[in-house]
Structure 1
Amino acid sequence: MADDTDTAAFVQSLKNDNTVRKTTSDMRLFNRWLRSNNEMRLAEEIPVTELDKCLARFFMTVKKDDESNYEPQSVRSMQSSISRYLTEKCAINIMVDKEFHHSRDVMSAKLKQLKSMGMGAKKRKADPFTAEEVNLLYEKELLGAGNPQSLVRTVWMNNTLHFGLRSREEHTTLRWGDIQMKATTDGGQYLEHTERITKTRNGANLDTRAFQAKMFADTGISDKPKVKIFDEKSDKMADIVWRNGQHVQKYFNDNDLTAADD
């Protein structure tokens, strides 16, 4: 009864894959730095006073393989990764514990130094499309339902703009039925997206949407029918889903299998 192996495995299975990879990568970098400085113990084996000093020097001196500096956000994310690892391994939080105030001071100084060198000021936000630019994309048939490539681009752009899908994972985990066609009381058509678990809204907190994301039909714009495209393709997609389901069922029948055999 006291064994928590299954509960730990349950928690691990629901961790974000990208976060796990980032933590592993940053800890590999930190452990390699420790070994290069003749410290052969793992991070969680080092007493907190010594660990604080190691972290301070690591934050101050860490560089890429080509000896260039990391961006400020990259150095900051290393601190977060190390803290996640140590919190899980030995209940140490280098972000808030008083024993690690020196390494935090060094981190602040390092960030100031990098920013004084002009780093961290890169523009990351993309400029939004203007209405004229969107119209041009449709005119050139780069968007629309005229060919498979333009259709995929249109679906991607609409899902991004109207439903807030951002990462590759959110697009690839979208399933048939997550988006449904509905109508307002006055007959106006719209598509409604039922959100799945995401990196920032994972069900473990109260950061949820106050309403379901909707995409309304382009009233009076016959050449850019967002909802019309969905309506025209939905019957074909439903048929594909049905036929795939028949193939799956046939496979189970031919091999004398049932879903319970998984």
Structure 2
Amino acid sequence: MAIGGSRFAQTTEEDRDLKRIKLNSDKTLMANKTVAKVFKEYLSEIGETVEYEQFHDLKLDECLGHFYMDLRKGDGSYYNANSLESIRHGINQHLKCPPFNRKTDIIKDSAFTDSKTCFKAVLAETKRIGKGDVEHYPIITEADLQTLYTSTYLSITTSQGLLNKVQFDVRMFFCHRGNQNMHRMTTFISVFTDENSGRKFVEKVVDEATKNHRLDKEYSSGIMPELRGQ
């Protein structure tokens, strides 16, 4: 808040922390807290203090190495490589965010050489047991799309069918991360344009900050083409 006639604000430590927190999405912050809880549960189980945010680098490196090696799902099975990467990234972000504001980076810094080696060993093991590949959802085939568009559920001749079709199209062409940000999809962030062919397109021209890079802005993200004959 500006004081008197000064052009400069006097930002408090609390203000700074709040602004730094907002660099991450709510979903990311929740995921980081969940991962932090898992690490704390592990430390508690092995009889170690759970306040790892206060550990010096040497001790944190040692504990992380054991954690990576011992980490399992609730049913005792192994995590896949993608999940392991997410867990390590979540811990790293948790340490860097307020109120801890750690300057260290458990992924890049040389102080964490031992735990990084342990992590690489765990990734190699997941590949040997068939857990090394990233799992993707299967694509929607052209045949399945045709079945959907010709069904009564997406029929534009009924009000419910038209609503379903609009909702489906918006999610398929613009919601690259599932339903996240769906509530922000409005007519104010889309524009209709005509090509030389006369075909119409819907283009999302104003986007939210991207999930993994909150400082990036997508000024065009996804194009929905007109499907002739519908």
* CA–CA distance in structure 2, aligned partners of residues 197 and 123 of structure 1: 26
Name the structure, 1 or 2, with higher relative contact order (CA <8 Å, separation 6+).
2
1:16 corresponding residue in structure 2: 25
1:112-191 aligned at under 5 Å gives the runs: 112-121=124-133, 123-130=135-142, 132-163=143-174, 165-184=176-195, 188-191=199-202
> How many angstroms does 1:42 deviate by?
1.0
Percent of paired sites with the same residue: 19
User: Residues 146-204 of structure 1, C-alpha deviation per residue, up to 9 Å, x if partnerless?
Assistant: 33443233223322444354321222221232223344577554333233204337661
Structure with more helix by fraction: 1
Task: Show structure 2 runs of 5+ residues with no match.
Answer: 1-9
> How many angstroms does 1:97 deviate by?
0.8
User: Residues 204-240 of structure 1, C-alpha deviation per residue, up to 9 Å, x if partnerless?
Assistant: 13x635x464434334x2xx1xxxxxxxxxxxxxxxx
Give yes or no for contact 2:192–2:201 (8 Å, CA) kept in 1.
yes
Evaluate the alpha carbon distance shift between residue 55 and residue 141 of structure 1 in structure 2; reply closer, same or farther with a 3 A threshold: same
TM-score in terms of structure 1 length: 0.72
SS at match of 1:215: strand
2:218 corresponding residue in structure 1: 208
Evaluate the alpha carbon distance shift between residue 129 and residue 198 of structure 1 in structure 2; reply closer, same or farther with a 3 A threshold: farther
Q: Does 85-94 or 19-28 show the bigger shift?
A: 85-94
**Aligned match of 1:97 in 97, 109, 114?**
109
2:64 corresponding residue in structure 1: 55
Structure whose alpha-carbon radius of gyration is higher:
1
Give yes or no for contact 2:171–2:179 (8 Å, CA) kept in 1.
no
Q: Does 36-45 or 94-103 show the bigger shift?
A: 36-45
RMSD of aligned residue pairs (Cα, Å):
2.7
1:110 corresponding residue in structure 2: 122
2:94 corresponding residue in structure 1: 85
SS at match of 2:192: strand
Give yes or no for contact 1:170–1:198 (8 Å, CA) kept in 2.
no
SS at match of 1:204: coil
Evaluate the alpha carbon distance shift between residue 172 and residue 202 of structure 1 in structure 2; reply closer, same or farther with a 3 A threshold: farther
Give yes or no for contact 1:76–1:107 (8 Å, CA) kept in 2.
no
Letter in 2 for 1:17: D
* CA–CA distance in structure 1, aligned partners of residues 104 and 138 of structure 2: 38
Letter in 2 for 1:154: K
> How many angstroms does 1:46 deviate by?
1.5
Give yes or no for contact 2:201–2:225 (8 Å, CA) kept in 1.
yes
TM-score in terms of structure 2 length: 0.81
* CA–CA distance in structure 2, aligned partners of residues 203 and 39 of structure 1: 35
Give yes or no for contact 2:209–2:218 (8 Å, CA) kept in 1.
no
Task: Show structure 1 runs of 5+ residues with no match.
Answer: 225-262
Letter in 2 for 1:134: L
Evaluate the alpha carbon distance shift between residue 48 and residue 214 of structure 1 in structure 2; reply closer, same or farther with a 3 A threshold: closer
* CA–CA distance in structure 2, aligned partners of residues 141 and 94 of structure 1: 53
Letter in 2 for 1:181: F
Q: Does 63-72 or 145-154 show the bigger shift?
A: 145-154
